Structure 1
Amino acid sequence: MKSLAPKTLPKQFVSFQILFMFIIILGSVVSFDSTAFAASATRKDFGEGGPESVALLKWKASLDNQSQFLLSSWVAGNNHCKWIGIGCNKASRVTHIDLESYSLRGMLSDLNFSSFPHLLSLELFNNSLYGSIPSNIGSLRRLTYLSVPANLLFGTIPSEIGQLSNLKFLYINTNQLHGSIPQEIGLLNSLNEFGAYSNNLTGSIPPSIGNLSSLTTLYIYDNKLSGSIPPEVGQLGSLIDLELSNNNLTGSIPPSIGNLSRLTTLYLFSNKLSGSIPSEVGQLGFLIDLELLVNNLTGSIPASIGNLSTLTTLYIYNNKLSGSIPQEVGQLGSLIDLELSGNNLTGSIPTSIGNLSKLTTLHINDNKLSGSIPPEVGKLGSLIDLQLSGNNLMGSIPNSIGNLDLLQYLYLDMNNLTGYIPLGFNNLTQLVKFVIDLNKLTGPLPENICFSGLLTKITAHDNNLTGPIPKSVKNCRSLNRVRLERNQLSGNISEDFGIYPNLVYIDLSYNNFYGELSQQWGMCHNLTSLKISNNNISGEIPPELAEAMQLSVLDISSNHLVGEIPMKFGSMVSLFNLRLDDNQVSVATKVSDQRPSIHNQFDLITLGELFDINC
């Protein structure tokens, strides 16, 4: 058998092997030194003392003293990646600057953006930075998030902003920027959200904005933009929220807006838009909030609006719309707030409106609506605010309104309504404001009108109401304004009214109240106007009335008052209009002695011959 022991190697081969191993070890050492040198160079070039930290320190030095104090961690020689508001990647390159709400004061343009080629996010919201947005902001080619709102920036939006091709979020709102939105904004193909609202931007909306296919939010409201809404807006297929309100936009609403199939919010209010509401609005199947108020829109409300099954808010008031309210409005099953007031709408209130079971606010006042109030209104069980005033509505008020037990605001004034106020109104115990004046209503006021003590306003003047003041009114301390003049109401005025600490104005004139004036009127310390003329009030004027020191108008003329004017009236410094004529009162000697001061305080023309003064 042959031996398996290794053979002895030649000496030359052994020497070569040792040399080879030495070379490998030496190479490893050199490689390690080179890596260490490179890492050291990175820290030197981009860490302590690098261009990014130098740019940050230079910007800090340009800020005011308080701002520099807030950035006290920004110290030369320290690792800038550990400075407050600074974020870095593994290579110590600055990727994030977040100094939101630091009360920094200085110029944004003093920050050298060219020194931050790796910056991804810049957050400077809510500071006091001023000056313009520098054009070298376009050097931030990797930037995805730019937020400088709520500062004091002025100047124009630089066209170089179009170079930020990776930008997803751009917020420059709530500054003092002026000039137009640059066409280059259309180059930001990755942009998701654009907020430039609450500035002084002028000019038209650039058509290039239609290129922003990824845009979900467009906020450019509260500016001075003019011109028409470009039809290219209809190309923004990803758009969810479009807000162009409070500008000077003219022209019509482009039909292409119907292409925005994902839109949930459309705000075009407070502009100068004209023309009709395009029927294509009915294609916005996900729309939740539609606000077109305060424009010059004409034509009728399109029936297609009934397709908006997710709509919760519809504001198209204060326009020039005509025609009738379409029955299709009753298909808006999600609607919470419907406001159509201040138009020229005609015809009757559609009965289908009773289908809107979630409705809390219904304003169709100040139109030219006719016919009667449909009983179906009583099906609106969630209704809190009902305003039908200023129309040509006639007939009686439906008793079904008494079913609206959540109702707080009821305005039926300035119509041609007749008949009694329904007994069902006694169920409206949550009323805060009850306004039925300038109709032809008869019968008594609802007994429980202030059952819960929430009522602040009751105006029922210029009707044919009869009967006494409801007992619930006597203890209704929440009352602020009462107008019941020019009716045929009756009752003992000294017993029907109480103390009202919040009452500012009350007019009971031209009724059939009798009895004596209560001294409790003097305890209404916020009362500025008390008018009870042309009734059957007798007795003397209570001196306690002078304790209502805010009283500026007191009209108790054309009654059966007797006795002397209380001397305390001379101390009522707010009183400038006092009407006592057509009574049997006289001037006390001490009051007469104060005639010069009274002449300055009172409008003596209203006193008639009481003081025997020729004015």
Structure 2
Amino acid sequence: MKLHPVDLFLFSCTCLLLCAATPVRAAIRREAEALVNWKDSLAGADGSLGSWSLANSTSLCSWTHISCNSAGHVTGLDITDRSLNGTLDRFDCSAFPHLENLILFRNGLYGTIPAGIGNLTSLVGLNISRNPYLSGAIPRSIGQLKHLVVLRLENLGLDGTLPEEIGNMTSLEVLTLRSVTLTGSIPLTIGMLVKLRKLILDYNNLTGSIPLEIGNMTELQELSFSRNYLEGQLPGTLSHLIKLQDMYLSENQLGGHTFPELGNSSLLRMVDIRMNNFSGMFPSSICVGGALRYLMAAYNGFTGIHKQTFQNCTNLKYVSFTANNIVADLRDCFGEHSRQLEVLAFSQNQLYGSILADESETFPCNYTLLLFLDLSNNALDGSLPKCLWDMPSLEFMDLSSNSFTGVVPFSRTCQDTLSNLHLANNHFTGTFPLALKKCKNLITLDLGGNSFSDDFTNFTGMVHEEKSNDDVEYEEKIQIVWKNVDYAYTTTITGLVGIDLSGNFLSQEIPGGLTTLLGIRYLNLSGNHLSGCIPEDIGNLLLLESLDLSRNQLTGEIPPSFAGLKSISALNLSSNGLSGRIPTSNQLQTLVDPSIYSNNLGLCGFPLEDCVSSATSTQSETSQAEDREKLWFYCFVAAGFIFGFWLYCGIFFFRSETWRCAFYQHVDNLQGRVTKKI
């Protein structure tokens, strides 16, 4: 039969389609077999991968965690947080030439990343993060993934170096290798990743210097090398990164002078260079674009700040230069630069001058937004301006260890936000700041090492009102450095956590209101002139961990309720006039150092010498009386013997009766006087 030309054309097309479909079906079958083969090597995969079965391989695209293209090939495999337990050894990468996304985030994979990963040449996204037992090195074959745009390998147990072949992945835009224990130096080939927008290599063991080639990545927006062992100076080529927004270089060993163009990017909003060895003047160009919001430069060796450094920092929220060697006038450091400043930390420097030149000035920062102010351990002087206490958002203020003088000018009210106040080790005088009793949200109060005087105020106003049982208490973690000891704890207890009023001239009795602050953990009233007794209900402070009442004039007994201090771990009651028995409890018995009770002549009991009981005292007095009677008896016997001896001798020495009578009379008189004396 002769076929019509049209029929012949259709027949030919059908044959061609059948011929083409055969290898496609074979390839899809191979993909299904590879997936099932890998599934069989995994423990506990039946639950999440139950649909993976060769019995329904024709519906591969309906399997869980699988996505396909129009031809039915696997293009995506996303198994996130499914507790897969096994290796990648039986994952046949060559079976998936069309795979574009492989995501195995947060599972229980172990073993190594197979070298065959380089066969996934169509990959665009690869994420094997949060598999902490995956070990070994990053295979060099990873450089074959030239279409890869996103590579995320975070929180793995890898070791070895970052291979130089990383530079071949020229399509990369995101590279995050956080906390994978990489060693060695950053390869110079990393500069070939000119499309990279995010480079995260922090929390590793990288050494060497930051390569100059880093400046080639002009599209870079985020750079993070924190927590490594990088050293040397910052390369000047960093100034080429004109799109850089966030730079994290903290906790390395970088040093030397920073280049002047550090802030060359007009988009720069975050600079974190804490805990390095940088020195010299801080670069004045840091705010050239006006976008900077967070500047963290603590624990370095910077020696100065240009007066105009923060002139354009109109969006600055956070500034920290803690623990540097900055010598400057305080007001030259920040000036009228910020309208939104929230955190200002310049402690442990050599700042001088006063906060305000006179009371007519206003505080330099926009104090309506200031949350955290730390100027401690400097050489600041003068008096404190009253406007400090009118900041409506202030939560933390530390002005301790300076040379401030005068009276603390508290206003009539205390802002509800104020939770931490440290004014210790200055030269403040006057009476105890009575306005503090209105600060109901204080967590720590440190006024030690000043010259506050007068009587001690009532603290009952600092106690929070009781909440109903229906209210949900706010829980937060508090970090406190208390007398050079670092404390961290989670609390849901309202009220003060710590009070330090040591080294002042406070007098009279300890106020009973202190025992109503049930959330207090640290109390130091040492080195004052407090008198009277320890409050009877001090045992109510069940959370109290540290108590120092030493070097006062306290008298009386330690109250029995003292045994109720279930959390006490640091105690000092020395150098007072306390007496009586030391209370005992399981917790107090752990405080074995006797010096905590020293210089209290009337105290006894553990860990000092045992107290003498009344029964023992009576028995001792009886024994002493008996000993005295025996002594008198022996004395009389001895005296009688002596007198008798002299009488006997007198018979022979005085033959005249007149002399003998006179001698006997003298002996009788002598005996009478001796007996009277005894």
Q: Which residue of 2 aligns with 1:361?
A: 343
Residues of 1 paired with 2:12 and 2:71: CA distance? 20
Structure with the greater alpha carbon radius of gyration: 2
Residues of 2 paired with 1:252 and 1:582: CA distance? 57
From 270, 287, 293, the equivalent of 1:306 is 287
From 66, 88, 93, the equivalent of 1:113 is 93
From 11, 29, 50, the equivalent of 1:72 is 50
- Are positions 1:31 and 2:12 aligned together? yes
Q: Which residue of 2 aligns with 1:507?
A: 524
* Cα distance, 1:92–1:297 mapped onto 2, change above 3 Å: same
> SS of 1:214's equivalent?
coil
> SS of 1:130's equivalent?
strand
From 447, 472, 479, the equivalent of 1:460 is 447
Kept in 1: contact 2:410–2:433 (CA 8 A): yes
* Cα distance, 1:554–1:164 mapped onto 2, change above 3 Å: closer
Q: Which residue of 2 aligns with 1:149?
A: 129
Letter of the 1:467 counterpart: D
Q: What count of residue pairs does the alignment treat as equivalent?
A: 572
Give the aligned CA root-mean-square deviation in angstroms.
2.7
Q: Which residue of 2 aligns with 1:565?
A: 581
Kept in 1: contact 2:439–2:462 (CA 8 A): no
Letter of the 2:287 counterpart: G
1:291-370 aligned at under 5 Å gives the runs: 291-324=272-305, 326-351=307-332, 352-370=334-352
Deviates more, 1:297-306 or 1:485-494: 485-494
* Cα distance, 1:147–1:566 mapped onto 2, change above 3 Å: closer
Q: Which residue of 1 aligns with 2:407?
A: 420
Q: Which residue of 2 aligns with 1:136?
A: 116
1:272-299 deviation per Cα after TM superposition (whole angstroms, max 9, x unaligned): 1011121111211101110000111111
> SS of 1:331's equivalent?
coil
Letter of the 2:373 counterpart: L
Kept in 2: contact 1:425–1:446 (CA 8 A): no
From 592, 617, 635, the equivalent of 1:576 is 592
Kept in 2: contact 1:378–1:401 (CA 8 A): no
1:63-90 deviation per Cα after TM superposition (whole angstroms, max 9, x unaligned): 12x0244211111131222211122222
Kept in 1: contact 2:414–2:439 (CA 8 A): no
* Cα distance, 1:472–1:52 mapped onto 2, change above 3 Å: same
Deviation at 1:46, TM superposition (A): 2.5
Kept in 1: contact 2:459–2:511 (CA 8 A): no
Letter of the 1:549 counterpart: K
- Are positions 1:280 and 2:261 aligned together? yes
Q: Which residue of 2 aligns with 1:6?
A: none
- Are positions 1:99 and 2:82 aligned together? no
Deviation at 1:570, TM superposition (A): 9.2
1:399-449 deviation per Cα after TM superposition (whole angstroms, max 9, x unaligned): 221232211111111112211112348544422111111111111333232
Kept in 2: contact 1:106–1:130 (CA 8 A): yes
> SS of 1:573's equivalent?
helix
Residues of 1 paired with 2:590 and 2:336: CA distance? 50
Kept in 2: contact 1:225–1:248 (CA 8 A): yes
Kept in 2: contact 1:354–1:376 (CA 8 A): no
> SS of 1:519's equivalent?
coil
- Are positions 1:255 and 2:236 aligned together? yes
Q: Which residue of 1 aligns with 2:436?
A: 449
Residues of 1 paired with 2:89 and 2:574: CA distance? 72
Deviation at 1:363, TM superposition (A): 0.7
* Cα distance, 1:581–1:221 mapped onto 2, change above 3 Å: closer
Which aligned segments of 4 or more residues in structure 1 are displaced greater than 6 angstroms? none
Q: TM-score, normalised by structure 2?
A: 0.79
1:350-375 deviation per Cα after TM superposition (whole angstroms, max 9, x unaligned): 35434322111111001121222245
Q: Which residue of 2 aligns with 1:12?
A: none
Deviation at 1:491, TM superposition (A): 3.9
Deviates more, 1:238-247 or 1:510-519: 510-519
From 161, 171, 185, the equivalent of 2:142 is 161
1:172-251 aligned at under 5 Å gives the runs: 172-251=153-232
From 388, 394, 398, the equivalent of 1:401 is 388
Kept in 1: contact 2:377–2:401 (CA 8 A): yes
Residues of 2 paired with 1:244 and 1:465: CA distance? 48
> SS of 1:242's equivalent?
strand
Residues of 2 paired with 1:520 and 1:293: CA distance? 47
* Cα distance, 1:539–1:330 mapped onto 2, change above 3 Å: farther
Kept in 2: contact 1:312–1:336 (CA 8 A): yes
* Cα distance, 1:45–1:580 mapped onto 2, change above 3 Å: closer
1:514-593 aligned at under 5 Å gives the runs: 514-561=531-578, 564-565=580-581, 572-577=588-593, 579-580=596-597, 585=602
Q: Which residue of 2 aligns with 1:126?
A: 106
> SS of 1:51's equivalent?
helix
Letter of the 1:221 counterpart: D
- Are positions 1:85 and 2:39 aligned together? no
Letter of the 2:322 counterpart: S
> SS of 1:109's equivalent?
coil
Deviates more, 1:37-46 or 1:564-573: 564-573
Deviation at 1:557, TM superposition (A): 4.4
* Cα distance, 1:63–1:571 mapped onto 2, change above 3 Å: closer
Q: Which residue of 1 aligns with 2:505?
A: 488
Letter of the 1:459 counterpart: D
Kept in 2: contact 1:387–1:410 (CA 8 A): yes
Q: Which residue of 1 aligns with 2:617?
A: none
Deviation at 1:189, TM superposition (A): 1.6
Q: Which residue of 2 aligns with 1:52?
A: 31
* Cα distance, 1:446–1:118 mapped onto 2, change above 3 Å: same
* Cα distance, 1:28–1:199 mapped onto 2, change above 3 Å: same
* Cα distance, 1:378–1:111 mapped onto 2, change above 3 Å: closer
Deviation at 1:574, TM superposition (A): 3.6
